[in-house]
Structure 1
C-alpha cells in the first residue's frame, strides 16, 4: 500500500465479512496491506459487545468503508479513536473523527465512509456496541434523545462551516479506554473487568454529550467553578514533578479546599491528587512509549522519587509493567 493509496475495506479484509447472521465478526488484515485486526470482537452481557481495531498498514493512505449496512445489527456504537487515525469521514453526522476524539453512531445514521490512516503506525480504536433495548434499560433514555443532542452539535458545526473534529475525549475517557484496551488485549479472560470498563466508557460518552449540549444538571462546583478547576488542572500538569499542596493549589485558583476537592470529584470522579497521580502516570507512559527516555528517567521526570513505587502505581493503572511500553 503506497503513499495515499485508497483501497476498499473488502480488500483489506481479504473478502471476509464483518457480520454474519447479524453478529459482528473478528476480521484480520490482508498481509499484503498490513497486520493485525480490522475488527476483533468480544461479546459480554447479552446485548453488549466490545470491538477493537488494532492493526497497522504498510503505507499511508485511506480505505473506503462498505456502504451496504443491511446486515449490521441495530446497535448504538460508542466509538473512540486512540492512535493512528488521521480522520474518519461521515455523511451524517458531518463532523469527522480523529485521534483522541469520540463519536456515537446510531442505526439511523449513515455509516462511516472512509478512514485516513498513518503508515506503519499502530491504529487503535475501541467501540462499545449496545442493543437499543439494553441501552434504554440501562440508562432510562431513548436513542432519539442522544440523536437530538448530536444533531444539535452537528447543526452548530454546519452553521460555522467548520469541518472540525467531533468531541475531544476527556481525561476520564482516555484512562478508561486505555484500561479497556489493555484488558481486551492482555487479559482476555477477565470479562468482568472489560464489561465494567465498557459500561463506564459508554456512560462517560453520554455524560460528556449532555454537558456539551446543556442537558445535564450542573452542581455548584461544575457550573460556577469550572474555569478555576480547569486552571488547577493546568497547574498540576505544568508542575507535576513538584506540585503545590492542596490548600496552596486552592488558594492559587481562588477556591477554598472543600470547593477544590468537590469540584475535582464532580468533574473527574477523582480528588486533586488522584488526578495528579493519573496524569503523572499517563505522561510517563507517553515518554516511555515514545522512546523519549527510559523507565527510571520517566519516573523522576513526572515526580516519583521511588522507582519501585512508580512501577507499582504504573501496574495498578495500566495492568502492565512500565518496560512493556518501551
Structure 2
C-alpha cells in the first residue's frame, strides 16, 4: 500500500504528533530525538540546533509502506543531505537557497533509511564563506532570489566526506563541547561540498575549451588506467603519456566521465575485483593484489562500500552457486 501525504502533513506526523513526543538529551537540551510514528514505521529522527540559523538533522527508520509526499512552492535554505542507508546510500545532494518548486517525492519501504541533513540560513552562510557578509562572485550562484529555483547538485560521497560523517555520528563529547564538535564537522562537510561546487564551476569553464582531440586523449587516458589497475601512473605521468596538461586532464576527465581520475580508477578496480571473485578462481587476497590493493582490510572495506557485501561472503556465495549448478 502507498500512503500519499502533503509535506506539511508528513512533517506534522513525524515532529509534532501528540503520539510522538520528543525526547531531549538529558545533558544536551539542544539535541532532541523524535521516535518515528508507529503508524508510518520504526526508528527515529534527531533534531540538533547548533546555533541560530544552523540545524543538524539525523534520521534512521524503516517504513511500513511506501510514502509519497507532495509539496507546493516554498522558500529553501542552503542544505546538504548525505544518504547513509537505503536505495541512495553513498550519495549526497547539495542545494542552494531560493525557490523550491512543488514536487512529489517517493519514500521507499524496501530498505531501512538513514541520512544526515544540514540546513543553513543564507545570512549565516555568507558570514562564514564571505568577506564582511558578502560572498565572492564564484559562490553567489548558491544564493538566489525567492523567484529563482535553487541550485542543486548530486554526487557520490567521497572518502573525506565519509570520514567526517563517521566522526560526526560517533561524537564522544557532551554539553557545549559536543555542540562545538558537531558544528565543526558540519562546517567541514560544508567546506567539502563548496569545494566540489567550485570544482564543478571550473569544469564547466574548462569544458568549453575541450576540443575533439582533447576528448580523444582523455578516453585514451581511461584505457591506460584499465590496463594498469595494479600499478597506475600518477596524474602527472598519465597526462604526459596522453599529451595533455594535468589540469585539463583532471577537469576534462570529470566532464567526460562525471568522476575524478582517482574515482574512475577506484570504480574500475572494484568492478574488476568483483568479476574475479564472481569467477571463483581467486581468493580475496589474490583479487585484491591483482587490482593494486596491498592492504586486504582496506580492500574489503572498499568492496563492502561499493557492493554492500563483504568480499569473502560474495566469493563463497558465488562458489556455492557454481557447485549447485553442476
Aligned to 2:66: 60
Aligned to 1:78: 80
Q: What is the rounded CA distance, in whole Å, between the counterparts of 2:21 and 2:96 in structure 1?
A: 20
- Could you say what secondary structure the match of 2:93 adopts? strand
- Residue 179 of structure 1: which of 137, 145, 163 is its match? 163
Q: How far apart are 1:116 and its partner, in Å?
A: 0.4
- Residue 126 of structure 1: which of 72, 94, 116 is its match? 116
For structure 1, the residue ranges without an aligned partner over 5 or more in a row are: 87-97, 156-165
Name the structure, 1 or 2, with higher relative contact order (CA <8 Å, separation 6+): 1
Aligned to 2:129: 139
Q: What is the rounded CA distance, in whole Å, between the counterparts of 2:165 and 2:70 in structure 1?
A: 25
- Residue 57 of structure 2: which of 51, 57, 61 is its match? 51
Aligned to 2:40: 33
Pairwise mapping of residues 281-300 of structure 1 onto structure 2 (< 5 A)?
A: 283=270, 296=284, 300=288
2:115 equivalent to 1:117:
no
Q: 1:235 to 1:266 in 2, by over 3 A?
A: closer
CA contact (8 A) 2:79 2:117 kept: yes
Q: How far apart are 1:46 and its partner, in Å?
A: 6.5
Q: 1:209 to 1:196 in 2, by over 3 A?
A: same
Q: What is the rounded CA distance, in whole Å, between the counterparts of 2:279 and 2:69 in structure 1?
A: 32
- Could you say what secondary structure the match of 1:245 adopts? coil
Aligned to 1:201: 192
Q: How far apart are 1:57 and its partner, in Å?
A: 1.5
Q: What is the rounded CA distance, in whole Å, between the counterparts of 1:278 and 1:303 in structure 2?
A: 9
For structure 2, the residue ranges without an aligned partner over 5 or more in a row are: 25-29, 174-180, 255-259, 314-326
Q: 1:49 to 1:65 in 2, by over 3 A?
A: same
CA contact (8 A) 2:60 2:114 kept: yes
Aligned residues: 272
Pairwise mapping of residues 104-253 of structure 1 onto structure 2 (< 5 A)?
A: 104-106=95-97, 108-110=98-100, 113-140=103-130, 141-142=134-135, 145-148=141-144, 167-169=153-155, 173-187=157-171, 189=173, 191=182, 194-195=185-186, 197-204=188-195, 206-207=197-198, 210-211=201-202, 227=215, 231=219, 234-235=222-223, 238=226, 241-242=229-230, 244-246=232-234, 249-250=238-239, 253=242
Q: What is the rounded CA distance, in whole Å, between the counterparts of 2:60 and 2:124 in structure 1?
A: 27
Q: What is the rounded CA distance, in whole Å, between the counterparts of 2:225 and 2:21 in structure 1?
A: 45
Query: CA-atom RMSD, angstroms?
Result: 5.6
Aligned to 1:5: 3
TM-score by length of 2: 0.55
Q: What is the rounded CA distance, in whole Å, between the counterparts of 1:120 and 1:152 in structure 2?
A: 35
Q: 1:24 to 1:209 in 2, by over 3 A?
A: farther
CA contact (8 A) 1:47 1:130 kept: yes
TM-score by length of 1: 0.55
Q: Which moved more, 1:60-69 or 1:291-300?
A: 291-300
1:221-271 residue CA offsets vs partner (Å, 9 max, x unmatched):
99659847864774477457435434763355432xxx3378549988xxx
Q: What is the rounded CA distance, in whole Å, between the counterparts of 1:152 and 1:209 in structure 2?
A: 20
1:129-168 residue CA offsets vs partner (Å, 9 max, x unmatched):
223332112222459742449988889xxxxxxxxxx533
